[in-house]
Chain A
Amino acid sequence: MSDPRENGGTQWIHNPIGAQRGGGWVDDALSEHMRETDAVGGRAAGGGRVLQRVEGVRGKDADAAVNARFYRRGWTDGLPIVPPTVARVRDTLRYSPESAATVIGELEPMHGEASVEKLAVNAVMAGCRPDYFPIVLAAVRGLLDPRFNLRGVQTTDESVTPLLVVSGPLTEELGVNAGTGALGPGWRANATIGRAVRLIMNNVGGGFPAVTSLAGTGQPARYTLCLAERTRANPWEPLHVESGLPAESSAVTLLRAECSINVTGGLDDLASVMASAASAFSILHGGYVTVLVAPATARQVAEQGWSKRDVSRYLFERARMPIQEWKRLWVRAKIAPTYGLPSWVVAAEAAHAPIPIVECAEDIVVFVAGADVPIPQHVYFPTWGFPPCRIVVPITLPRDWSRLRQDVAT
């Protein structure tokens, strides 16, 4: 599609770093921050380096040189990146419904401008196929929704990360995996869309690990956490339809995930995991927790006439933490006394009743994904933070989508 060594052996490489409204670079602001705080992190202090929109890299090993340079500067997630050449970025921009210069918002915590061009640069680096770009754009709109609390997610000492669930017909068209191994390696869309969002959070938003992003351990899902909701072997309406969008549209649903816990068995097994210290933060803050239900279980309960809501209600009733256990939790002992607790937790404590892990059944988000096999595997995604966050962003396609799709090397 594009010759990476265009123009006589020189690669023209975009810089992935967000610009601030006043013209400064997020990178410079971070360097300043590192100087002020004497921060020592995994990231090289930029101090004094002059960034330009595009730099030239020469030689046969330009790809390796770009990789070495970007890694040294702290612009990657540690894995090799696809060098964001001018040609590759231009190619990705063709798949955008909006022009390159459009700024869709400012990303916390360093207020980097999310221009469409900058997002495309990071999508190329992540390895996105150009036709994934409309999904990346939708996901970034989700990050910008105030309910997502991007500043909190970026800077907290917790390991929370965005969970992207893509639903609608586009998932099959683009090959976003909802089936076997959907949360694992092997699927370009799942791997690169989530990765693009992470690189954008780092490079445009300035959430650099160990500098502004202080997650104590981090988690593997911070590389990518993106999958599709099943369109087949799914008895229920998908997430975007639940939120009032038409079935023929496609959308990204953003949730905040503290981690992902695999649960083999039935709904009671799920409830047992949910009623544990894993749910400490939803008890502390409230908000949405997410449950991936295996197709086999979904089919089984749907045949008994259960809706998704019935599943949520069942889990809500069953996933209760014994009061003694709750009182022993670190969060209860160390944070609740100064921070306070939601009224429904206070009420349960007063009644010496088991503690619900969320305020109401509607706060348990359910979707169907994973392998359609007899041994059902579910996933529980606990949450962190506030305000409650379940953000659905419709995916907007460029006007000439069907023509553009034919150009994609699959």
Chain B
Amino acid sequence: MLRVSAAVERAGFPTATLVCEGFLGQAEATSSGLGMPALGVAMVPGHPDVQSVEELDRNISAVTLARLIDCLTTTTDGALQKTEPAPHEVVFEGSIDEVHRYFYENLWTDGLPIVPPTRERIGTFLAFVDRDPDEVVAEIPPDHRAATIWNIAVNGVMAGCRPEYMPILVALVEAMADPAYGVEHSGNTPGAETQIVINGPLIKDLGFNYEQGALRDGFQANTSIGRFWRLYLRNVAGFLPFQNDKATFGGTWRVVMAENEDALAEIGWPSICSEMGLPADESGVCIARYTGAHVIVSVYGSSAEECLPYLADAVVKYTGWELMFTVGMATGTYKPMLVLSPIVAKAIASSGFTKADVQAYLFEHARIPARQFERYISDWTNLVPGKRSLYDMTMLQKAPKIFGASRDRERLVPLVVRPEDFVIAVCGDPMRTNCTFLAHNGMLGFPTMRPIALPTDWAAKLRSSLAT
């Protein structure tokens, strides 16, 4: 609704958006994300779903109406321009301790020391892209600052990246700015965190860890690029806790996941980025926001038939409210990720299973009773208001046909709309039979892929950088 209001306000007409009391925080985050923090919101006390008509009438006349009139009689400006340092300006000179303190006190860090972004260090990063440092890659909400090659380098330096990671950082910011990803939602209250996946020859060229401890800190490429992501969201996009980041709990940024492409090649499965169109022999990144990571321990079996029932069970167990992205709020955008360790992937592949076969299996077998699905999206959460059954929603063409096969509330329905909505990755300790599952945040961080463009003379530049 706020999206419509923002568009209408931009056209110069006043709007008022009705928001229930419990969603005011969400409304604030969303209007900031839309670049219109002062968007007129008229609060409806409590929640209409639990009020009688008389109560609702009383609440609307006592509280909502006056604000509604206010909103409709004034128009709203867009985000105000902050006075900020010029793009190339030196913001501080001093000792290393002073730099850490200054950056920390001005809320430019994650609380850890940073590498001071000196002109010299920035220069080494810029050498790894064939682009004008002042080129505006995009404008990133909610603050709508210009994402430039220069400030990508600045935040890369601060995060502790190496200069040769720069092409990856640029690809990540391009992906961040892709409307399909939906970066403006990054401050929502569930507080999901982005998982970056990297594919291609850069995994080995730059020394990403994709084996034991693949999602653990301790490896510069994986760790510092993960940190860059969060610093960029903070310093350029403008997501700060107590401001535009309304995460109830939040979580630390995730380190980059590199797939084990040797294992993938051995079993003939495509990588995540290549499934999304990355040409062979190129490198690319895929970003998406996930709400957790649940390890599935000791997957026992030497075949697909033996391994997959346990995995399907885990997929069911660790999916709940996120089903509103399957049917309801943003139908067909739920794309959870199942990460297999290479040994499990190989056991499954030994039965002749392709990745598509695994996806098809999960689509067929990871199912729950319609009644349970309706509880998650409606009865328990009211995320999809109206208390309509999946059957009714199907009849109203608000859900795909497969969800409305009958009125039997005990019938089984899938967790996603299409088999390929299950994203399958392969990495981790090659000799351990554990897997992990990440529930997904749907359209509020939709999987988005960008190829990584390398500069001219990449090989020579890389050689000389690695020698320092």
A residues neighboring B (CB under 8 Å): 7-8, 10, 12, 20-25, 28, 48-54, 56, 58, 86, 99, 101
19 other A-B residue contacts (CB within 8 Å) besides A7-B97, A7-B101: A7-B98, A8-B95, A10-B101, A12-B102, A21-B37, A21-B38, A22-B37, A23-B79, A23-B80, A23-B82, A24-B82, A28-B83, A53-B105, A53-B107, A54-B102, A56-B98, A56-B101, A56-B102, A101-B242
Q: B residues 87-106 with Cβ under 8 Å of A? A: 91-92, 94-95, 97-98, 101-102, 105-106
Q: Is B184 an interface residue (CB 8 A)?
A: no
A86, B101: Cα distance in complex, Å: 11
If the complex has contacts A10-B94, A22-B37, A101-B242, are A51 and B83 also in contact, measured as CB distance less than 8 A? yes
Query: Which B residues touch A10, using CB under 8 A?
Result: 94, 98, 101
Q: Is B84 an interface residue (CB 8 A)?
A: yes
Instruction: Report the Cα distance A10→B105, complex, angstroms.
Output: 13
Given contacts A12-B105, A53-B106, A54-B102, contact A24 B81 (CB under 8 A): yes
Partner of B97 from A8, A25, A50, A58 at Cβ < 8 Å: A8
Report B247 CB to chain A, min CB distance, Å: 14
CA distance A156 to B235 in the complex (A): 40
**Interchain CA distance A48-B94 in the complex, whole Å:** 23
In the complex, what distance in Å separates the CA atom of A216 from the CA atom of B81?
33
Q: How far is the CB of B249 from chain A (nearest CB, A)?
A: 16
Residues of B within 8 A of A21 (CB): 37-38
From A20, A24, A50, A86, give the contact of B85 (CB < 8 A).
Answer: A50
Q: Is the CB of B38 within 8 A of A56?
A: no
Kindly state the separation between the CA atoms of A28 and B84 in the bound complex, as whole angstroms: 11
Q: Is the interface of A mostly helix, strand, loop or mixed?
A: loop
Complex alpha-carbon distance, A53 and B243, angstroms? 14
Are A24 and B37 in contact, with the CB atoms below 8 A? no
A54 touches B105 (CB 8 A): yes
Most buried by A among B79, B83, B85, B102: B83
* Contact mask for chain B residues 314-325; partner A; CB cutoff 8 A; 1 contact, 0 none: 000000000000
Q: Is the CB of A86 within 8 A of B79?
A: no
Leading 9 A-B pairs by shortest Cβ distance: A22-B80, A101-B242, A54-B105, A24-B80, A23-B82, A52-B106, A22-B79, A28-B83, A53-B106
Majority DSSP secondary structure for residues of B touching A: loop
Cβ–Cβ < 8 Å partners of A25 in chain B: 82-83
Q: How far is the CB of A71 from chain B (nearest CB, A)?
A: 21
| Shortest Cβ distance from residue B78 to the other chain A in the assembled complex, whole angstroms | 8
Q: Which single member of A22, A49, A86, A99 contacts B105 (CB below 8 Å)? A: A86
In the complex, the answer to whether A56 meets B94 with C-beta atoms within 8 Å is: yes
In the complex, 27 of the A-B residue pairs with CB atoms within 8 angstroms, ordered by the A residue number, are: A7-B98, A8-B97, A10-B98, A12-B101, A12-B102, A20-B80, A22-B80, A23-B82, A24-B80, A24-B82, A24-B83, A25-B82, A25-B83, A48-B83, A50-B84, A50-B85, A51-B83, A52-B106, A53-B105, A53-B107, A54-B106, A56-B98, A56-B101, A58-B94, A86-B105, A99-B242, A101-B243
Q: Which of B38, B84, B98 has the most C-beta atoms of chain A within 10 angstroms of its own C-beta?
A: B98
Residue from B85, B102, B105 having most chain A Cβ neighbours under 10 A: B105
**In the bound complex, CA of A49 to CA of B38 (Å):** 25
Interface residue ranges of B326-344 to A (CB < 8 Å): none
Chain B residue with minimal CB distance to A49? B83
Residue of A nearest to B36 (CB): A22
Nearest-neighbor residue (CB-CB) of A117 within chain B: B242
Q: What is the CB-to-nearest-CB distance from B303 to chain A, in angstroms, rounded to a whole number?
A: 55
Question: For the complex, is B193 an interface residue (Cβ under 8 Å from A)?
Answer: no
Residues of B within 8 A of A56 (CB): 92, 94, 98, 101-102
Chain A residues contacting B261 (CB-CB under 8 Å) are none
Asked if B143 is at the interface of the complex by the 8 Å CB criterion, the answer is yes
Identity of the chain B residue whose Cβ is nearest the Cβ of A10 in the assembled complex: B98
Residues of B1-59 contacting chain A, CB below 8 A: 37-38
Per the bound structure, the CA–CA distance linking A132 and B144 in Å amounts to 40
A54 / chain B contacts, CB cutoff of 8 Å: 102, 105-106
Residues of A within 8 A of B95 (CB): 8
* Minimum CB–CB distance for B238 against chain A, Å: 8
Residue of A nearest to B82 (CB): A23
Nearest-CB distance from B221 to chain A (Å)? 32
Q: How far is the CA of A22 from the CA of B36 in the complex (A)?
A: 8
Q: Tell me the complex Cα distance, A52–B92, Å.
A: 11
Docked CA distance A25–B117 (Å) = 26
Q: Which residues of B contact A49 (CB under 8 A)?
A: 83
Note all chain B residues with C-beta closer than 8 A to A8: 95, 97-98
- Select from chain B the residue with minimum beta-carbon distance to A22: B80
Contacts of B82 in A (CB 8 A): 23-25
Point out the residues of chain A lying under 8 angstroms from B102, CB to CB.
12, 54, 56
Q: Which residues of B contact A51 (CB under 8 A)?
A: 83
Residue in A closest to B92 when the chains form the complex, CB atoms: A56
- A101 to B81 alpha-carbon distance, docked (Å): 21
Q: In the assembled complex, which residues on chain B have CB atoms less than 8 Å from the CB atom of A12?
A: 101-102, 105
Nearest CB on B from A181, distance (A): 40
Q: How far is the CA of A28 from the CA of B85 in the complex (A)?
A: 14
What distance in Å separates the Cβ of B91 from its nearest Cβ neighbour in chain A? Answer: 8
CA distance A53 to B106 in the complex (A): 5
Q: Which among A50, A86, A99, A101 is the interface contact of B83 at CB below 8 angstroms?
A: A50
Cα distance A177–B105 when bound, in Å? 37
CB distance from A381 to the nearest CB of B (A): 32
Task: State in angstroms the CA–CA spacing of A128 and B101 once bound together.
Answer: 26
Residues of A within 8 A of B101 (CB): 7, 10, 12, 56
Q: How far is the CB of B310 from chain A (nearest CB, A)?
A: 44
Complex Cα spacing A12 to B106, Å: 10
